[in-house]
Structure 1
Amino acid sequence: MTGLDGIAAVVTGAAGGIGSRVVEHLAAEGAYVASVDTAHTSVGDRKVAGQDGDAAGSRVTRHGADVADAEAAERILDHVEREHGPVGLLVNVAGVLHTGLLTDLTDTAWQELLAANTTGVLTWCRAVVRRMTPYRRGSVITVASNSAGTPRAGMAAYAASKAAAGALTLGLGLEVARLGIRCNVVCPGSTDTPMLQRMAPTPQARDAVLHGDPTAFRIGIPLGRLADPDDIAAAVVFLASDQARHITLHSLYVDGGAALHG
């Protein structure tokens, strides 16, 4: 029903809490998925997405690469196209998080944020869309953050990198809409992943995420729960699917209402 059966897809940041679930959801819909992450050390090795022997797992290959490495992107895309044909879907999930006061941010941390969260999106969007153009079809989805549109204390640099990634994706979407290529953004809020667990390691910190913290100008999450990575993956699948064929240049907030964003 989604129209994803047999499509060749690429997911960056695919070993992370959200990325791994995106890979699994796409494979379950019948897509052939190239899973790209620095945590993967090999190119083209089979990686089972679910239980050993799961049919969906046979549709996933893993590729080790820094997402900002343009040459690696081209090599991986060559491999994918040889094996499965033209890439029809790119999902940019790769990202790193540095928190703290902006005045305390180091140049190294800033460069890491830009490389993973912004340059990586540019690198893969540019490479994939060039290959989509002759076929006049395709979909690009960038997983950004609700902080990209809502100021968060201690997250200014991260939010800036994610805002840039979102703006880049939507600007590209305007350029390629006439080619039948759709570009959308998913903006998660607090999601139960290892990244959040590092940011809110204590029960008190998690309570502040859920119920708000006036000292940090946060209202909490109106729905009263953290997102599960599956919630984000389901939004990605929807935007990639035929059911969203007339949706482009859209930012979909999946944050339980935390950003108060209409």
Structure 2
Amino acid sequence: MGQLEGKSALVTGATSGIGRAIATKLVAEGAHVFATGRRQTELDEIVGELGDAVTAVRSDISDLDDLDRVFSAVQERGQGLDLVVANAGVGTFASLEQLTPEGFDYTFNANVRGTVFTVQKSLPFLGPGASVVVTGSTSASRATATFGVYSASKAALRQFTRTWAIELAARDIRVNMIVPGPTDTPGLAGLAGDPVADREKVQALLEQEASHVPLGRLGRPSELADAVVFLASEQAAFITGSELFVDGGQSKI
């Protein structure tokens, strides 16, 4: 018996990296997972790997019509949700001088607007004892040149998480945030360029990020998945409105 046997979960941004690791771990712990993402090929791979324990729905969380399709699938299954993992997000580099309105909207629509309405639209499906976990970032607590919009979007989510924890407490719904440090994912590597064509630049970025972590390495997506399982489990029944840093000590040491 897994810790989440018989539970139902929604994981956004489940096609790769942290989101995919979370979906895989939740299934291993006994949950049925609604996995969303923008790339059908990767969603098909998840279903092929995890089987009937996954319902894959191609969607862009910044598109409210897409979100409606996700929750139509949840409604069709008829078992509600015990866990929502609002994980989907994007990040790009741009200094204040380089920033465009389109670039600003791209990041905030995905990271903030998409997360807010994912959680809002999940509310009719969440019962007492349910849990919401939002993926944050250490960037919300520190300044990195050319990464201001991403950092600000994650700081906004931190405040939403705290506010939702208050608003949903009367319904016995807990809301927490996991805060990854630099994690070995395609998303992190992609900030430096194409993993094949720009291999040296990618490797340099990964090594630089690891050098800032007291434990001396990048995080593993599976370690973030373990944190989500903890926050969704009975072991965390008295934890809400918190930030669980899974960053190798980067933010606190």
What is the TM-score with the length of structure 2 in the denominator?
Answer: 0.89
Could you tell me whether the CA contact under 8 Å between 1:8 and 1:84 is conserved in 2? no
For structure 2, the 5+ residue unaligned runs are: 193-200
The amino acid of 2:132's aligned partner reads: V
CA distance in 2, matches of 1:27, 1:66: 22
Mapping of 1:162-173 within 5 angstroms? 162-173=154-165
Question: Match of 2:97, SS?
Answer: helix
Aligned twin of 1:214 = none
CA pair 74-192 structure 1, distance change in 2 beyond 3 A: same
How far residue 42 of structure 1 moved from its aligned partner, in angstroms, is: 11
Mapping of 1:143-162 within 5 angstroms? 143-162=135-154
Question: Match of 2:163, SS?
Answer: helix
Aligned with residue 119 of structure 2, among 114, 118, 125: 125
CA pair 199-72 structure 1, distance change in 2 beyond 3 A: closer
Aligned twin of 1:109 = 103
Could you tell me whether the CA contact under 8 Å between 2:15 and 2:46 is conserved in 1? no
How far residue 106 of structure 1 moved from its aligned partner, in angstroms, is: 1.5
Per-residue CA distance 1:64-113 (angstroms, 9 max, x = gap) = 11102223323322322322511111001111111132221111111110
What fraction of aligned residue pairs are identical, expressed as a percent? 36
How far residue 207 of structure 1 moved from its aligned partner, in angstroms, is: 2.8
CA distance in 1, matches of 2:86, 2:228: 10
CA distance in 2, matches of 1:148, 1:49: 36
Aligned twin of 2:36 = 36
Question: Match of 1:115, SS?
Answer: helix
Aligned twin of 1:13 = 13
CA distance in 2, matches of 1:46, 1:100: 33
Could you tell me whether the CA contact under 8 Å between 1:42 and 1:63 is conserved in 2? no
CA distance in 2, matches of 1:190, 1:46: 25
CA pair 159-85 structure 1, distance change in 2 beyond 3 A: same
Aligned twin of 2:87 = 93
Question: Match of 1:48, SS?
Answer: helix
How far residue 169 of structure 1 moved from its aligned partner, in angstroms, is: 2.0
Q: Which moved more, 1:10-19 or 1:146-155?
A: 146-155
Aligned residues: 245
Q: Which moved more, 1:16-25 or 1:56-65?
A: 56-65
CA pair 169-254 structure 1, distance change in 2 beyond 3 A: same
Matched, 1:182 2:177: no
CA distance in 2, matches of 1:78, 1:204: 44
Aligned with residue 71 of structure 1, among 65, 68, 73: 65
Aligned twin of 2:249 = 257
CA distance in 2, matches of 1:185, 1:155: 20
Aligned twin of 2:198 = none
CA pair 225-235 structure 1, distance change in 2 beyond 3 A: same
- CA-atom RMSD in angstroms: 2.1
The amino acid of 2:206's aligned partner reads: R
CA distance in 1, matches of 2:42, 2:186: 23
Could you tell me whether the CA contact under 8 Å between 2:138 and 2:179 is conserved in 1? yes
Could you tell me whether the CA contact under 8 Å between 2:47 and 2:56 is conserved in 1? no
What is the TM-score with the length of structure 1 in the denominator?
Answer: 0.87
For structure 1, the 5+ residue unaligned runs are: 51-55, 212-219
Aligned twin of 1:191 = 183
Question: Match of 2:40, SS?
Answer: coil
Q: Which moved more, 1:202-211 or 1:184-193?
A: 202-211
